[in-house]
Amino acid sequence: MDNPSIKPLIFHIDVNSAFLSWEAFYRVNKLGETVDLREIPSAIGGNKETRHGIILAKSTPAKKYNIQTGEPIVNALKKCPNLTIVPPNHSLYVECSNNFIDLLKQYAPVVEQYSIDEAFLDMTGTSKLYKDPIAFAHTLKDEIKTKLGFTVNVGISRNKLLAKMASDFEKPDKVHTLFPEEIETKLWPLPVEDLFFVGPSTAKKLYNLGIYTIGDLARTDLELIRGHFKKHGEVIWNYANGIDTDDIRKHIPANKGYSHDITLPYDVTDRQTAKHFLLAICETLGARIRADKSYISVVAVSFLDNEFNQHSKQISLPSSTDVTEKIYEHACNLFDSVWNNRPIRLLSVHTSKATDESYEQINMFDSEKYEKLSKLNSAIDSIRNKYGESSIKRASMMNDKKRDSLKH
């Protein structure tokens, strides 16, 4: 990386329909089920019987019914009454994600996990190991499929933005390149809404300006875009031109906390839907924390609104915890205190000050309650890992009113 004659080489690896793929593989290969969720109209989401919750992932056959990630289950069932919906098994997904990242680390000198189901690999300077990076990408993709049982897309470029855009081309189980010299032919003809961080509301405003493709945006005067979209406009204009200055970290620090981000499939404008996503995030974080036998004592919530402004707030807890419900409770309180009712495009929960020992500020009302919840969470993780998510369900995932007024 320090040698200017060596060009950067970045891979973006993205699991295809991660939650659904991991769930399907587990059910067929571990539970012995005969129906593969990947082969029928199916989705990972809330409870089908109560028709609560949102779609977190969907199968390829479900896409034919225009089932959308993030839409309410009640809407999805109107489109496809026979849609098979299974609840999320977050502890299973954490295990699959860890196996995925561990395999990548066997081949790449630097791995930056971007989310639970995707990662960037810095392959710069590996030409002596892998003479043909495209051929190696196919080999890596096929090894993941053979060893771990699910498919991925691999995007290859000179920076993270272009590698990520490349991995979003035709799916599943594909390798795509998007080098700077390919931007004009591969990226610019695409609809502007396909560009990273261009949501429906931004796309509509761009249409009104006569900007319909990524190429239209790239060729538009930057000052005009800034005038209409401010900071967000500069970001998406740079992205349209393939400009990204976010380098993969050479040295990833020891894990002192846990975080998870969700780039929302559409601009979220209501509190209930936002809290659905918060619950999904906190379930994933809680399972990761307990899997590492850790405890955290700081919770933070942050989000990007549709004008690309970031809002965040954090709180230090009086006691360290590994309890999903406690993390979620604080996340909801933080969200309520900072949200300004502007549409949300990215939602994050971060935890920090992780330790391998718990400490408790004595509270005669809460201490016993949270101790029981911690043991219950661990028991739930164990049961889900062995028998699947459907073997045990949180009431908060089944009933909106209970979830929104969660009292522990």
Residue 169: Cβ-neighbour burial (10 angstroms; 0-12, 13-18, 19+): middle
Among 118, 283, 325, 389, the active-site one is 118
Q: Return all residues near 127 (Cβ < 8 A) that are at least 6 apart.
A: 133
Q: Which residues pair with 301 in a beta bridge?
A: 313, 349
Give catalytic status of residue 118 as yes or no. Answer: yes
Active site residues: 118
